[in-house]
Amino acid sequence: MNISLRIKVISLLFILISSLALIMNERSTALIYEKTQETFQQRLELLSESVKSYWDSEKNLLLSNAMLYAESEKIINYSTYGLLNLLQKELERLISKTGFHDMQIVLKNGQVISSDAEKSAEVAGFDLKDTRLNLAQVELQYEEDGLFLSAEVPVRKMGELIGRISLRRKLDDTRLKKMARNLQAEVSLGVREQIVASSLVDKAREDMVRTHFRDSENAQYISRATLNDEVFSIGRLEAEKTVAGDALIVYIAISQKKMLSMVEQARSQNLTVTAWALLITLLFTVAFSEKVLISRIRAIRDGANLIAEGNLDQHLNIVSGDELGDLARSFNRMATNLKVNRDRLQHYIERIEKLANYIQNILGSLKTCVITWNMEGRVETANPSAISELGEYYGELEGISLRSFLKKLKPDSRAEMIKALRQITKADSDRQFDIEIDCGEHAGIKVLQGGFSVLRDNEDKPYGFVLTLSNITQRKIIEQQLYHADKLSSIGQLAASVAHEIKNPLASIKTLGQLLQEETDQDDESREYIDVIVSEVNRLNAVVEQLLKYAKPEGSSFREQNFSEVIKPVLALVNHEAERNQIRLQAEYEPDLKVYVDAEKIKQVFLNLIFNGMQAMKDGGLIKVRAFKDSDSLWTAFEVEDSGIGMPEEVCKKVFEPFFTTRQRGTGLGLAIVKKIIDLHGGKIEVKSVSGQGTTFSFYLPSKQEG
């Protein structure tokens, strides 16, 4: 009996499809189970990330609260004035209103005040040279009575460290149950071989303890475990280390009970669906095999693949009048249009790239900073000059908001920029403004001149604005130097006139006064007046000499030498006067410290500053002289600090002005000469003083003179 090829093909196809269906059914069931496990694994991984985020948020919240308490005016005042009882009650009050466990503050003298009065104690005082005292930190503490997350931050008053405050939160079962509700999974914490807190209860918790004890040395893993006769997927991650170095292990457990039930249900449903699909597929295959489509479809497919690979010269050779023929002709037209559009697009892209490179080269070559902003007030682009000028100050410029940009500026500069922004759409919007940027304690101020303009599209609609900035720091410095030089020139002319008009009459008056002294007896009543005349003439002559010394140009001799060679003669010279006034002198500097100075002029600086300090201490005191190399710059820093009566702020602003003095018989030129010498060295000088606490003069000299 002859069997037709069609029956053979259909029979073979039926056998193959049936076998394939059965295999696929088993494979699909296994795949569902595998994917289920992968789903649990992915969820555990997501939950692990959520736990990390939750942990970070807990630490940040704790640190934020600690910093908030450290800024409390009551805590600062009580700590400063030693009101320990009030401070302890304030800590109790703050803790009673929160979910934190306890809070304590350690004052710099070593006094410990805790919200728990029994924990108040006294420890060693702070070593103020330890820079770590100024840092905030969050750490994990494992103690006998539980696991605690502790935040510790410094407490300052007017920039001075007065203590450190610590705030603790206990990580207990209640806390973890709240966390478990948020994550929709069970959470446990393990330290060493102990489960210190868990959202699990009763037997499930005991099973978790055994699991932790068994796997406490394992690295991160995803596994299955049975807790209280229920299968869980368990993730394990090391979240933190305690102060003692013990790892904090976080276990995340997700129940598989519901999912396993769904897998079994899906398996039974899959068998039914597979049987129906097999029958339908067989019928469809028999019907479709009657049509001669495979070869023509394959030809269209192969041609479409060639077009998809970029061969747009490919054309399909199907010319029949049915739908497949229409499809082939549509493919041919599409290939032709794609080729034409591709050529146009390539030409357009090349023009855009050329224009973009041209604009980028222009912006990259400009020394002016160019920053573009969108209408939302965020930086879109910044040219290399802007990154060079502002990158160190702002970090990453692109994406920074206008508010953040303005926030870092000084108030005056911020006001100027805001005023220019408000006028940006007006006809006379090319308003120029200056902004100042503080480059660091010893690096000075950078001055940038800027202006705004509107960015418009092809339809003349605004879609952003441009900020241009030019560095005019050097120009400002030159202007200040010219002003100072002009001022010195005027003083020099005045000094010359004073010398010409006063010195000769003074000499005559002094000579006549000395003659009268010689001719008048000591017991004569008029002798006292004659002595006053001679004394005042001498003082006036000293003022004239000092004025001439300040005004006239002086030569300088700079060379590198040990600082000890400069300061030791000065200290020896003033030592007798210091001892006579019960004043201690203290010098702090490295023995091998090198300075590049005119030694005689710098000696004059130290003499003037030390004598000024002595005159501010009527009942004795301490004068400190310090010198050190600033590690963050090329400057050498010097300080002269006294423990005298100090000066008010308005006096500090004028101390370097010529003829300004607060002493009855002062000339007002001593500190002006000091500033002149510092300017001659290319340095800068500043003064800080607090009435009743003392004064500190700080000046900075470059390690090497330029030019």
Q: In this predicted structure, what is the pLDDT of residue 537?
A: 73
Query: How would DSSP label each residue in 634-650?
Result: SEEEEEEEE-S----HH
The CATH number assigned to the domain with range 366-471 reads 3.30.450.20
CATH class of the region 71-170: alpha beta
DSSP3 helix / strand / coil % (the chain, rounded to 5): 50, 25, 25
Q: In this predicted structure, what is the pLDDT of residue 218?
A: 53
Residue range 198-224: mean pLDDT, rounded: 72
Q: In this predicted structure, what is the pLDDT of residue 194?
A: 83
The topology (CATH level 3) of 556-702 is Heat Shock Protein 90 (3.30.565)
CA distance readout (Å), 505 to 147, 236, 515, 527: 88, 97, 15, 21
pLDDT higher than threshold 70 for residue 108: yes
Which segments within 378-507 are labelled E, that is strand? 379-382, 433-438, 445-456, 462-471
pLDDT tens figures, 514-555: 777 777 777 776 777 777 777 777 767 766 666 655 555 555
Which of 367-371, 630-634, 649-653 shows the lowest mean pLDDT across its residues?
630-634
Helix axes 473-519, 527-551, angle to 10 degrees: 160
What is the model's pTM? Answer: 0.37
Give buried/exposed letters for 677-695 (b at 16+ CB in 10 A, else e). bbeebebebebebeeeebb
Sequence spans of domains, the chain: 71-170, 366-471, 478-549, 556-702
Q: In this predicted structure, what is the pLDDT of residue 219?
A: 46
Q: In this predicted structure, what is the pLDDT of residue 399?
A: 84
Residue range 594-617: mean pLDDT, rounded: 88
Higher-confidence residue: 398 or 441? 398
Of the options 2.40.128, 1.10.287, 1.10.3470, 1.20.120, the CATH number for the domain spanning 478-549? 1.10.287
pLDDT tens figures, 4-38: 445 655 677 667 777 776 777 677 767 776 777 77
Residue range 154-158: mean pLDDT, rounded: 90
What's the CA gap between 151 and 2, in Å, rounded?
91
Q: In this predicted structure, what is the pLDDT of residue 5?
A: 43
Report the 10 Å Cβ neighbour count for 337: 11
Q: What percentage of the chain reaches a pLDDT higher than 90?
A: 10
pLDDT higher than threshold 60 for residue 694: yes
Element (H, E) at 103: strand 102-107
User: What burial class does residue 315 get, using C-beta atoms within 10 Å of its C-beta: 0-12 exposed, 13-18 middle, 19+ buried?
Assistant: middle
pLDDT higher than threshold 90 for residue 286: no
Domains 366-471 and 478-549 equal at CATH topology level: no
pLDDT tens figures, 624-637: 999 998 766 678 89
Q: In this predicted structure, what is the pLDDT of residue 706?
A: 46
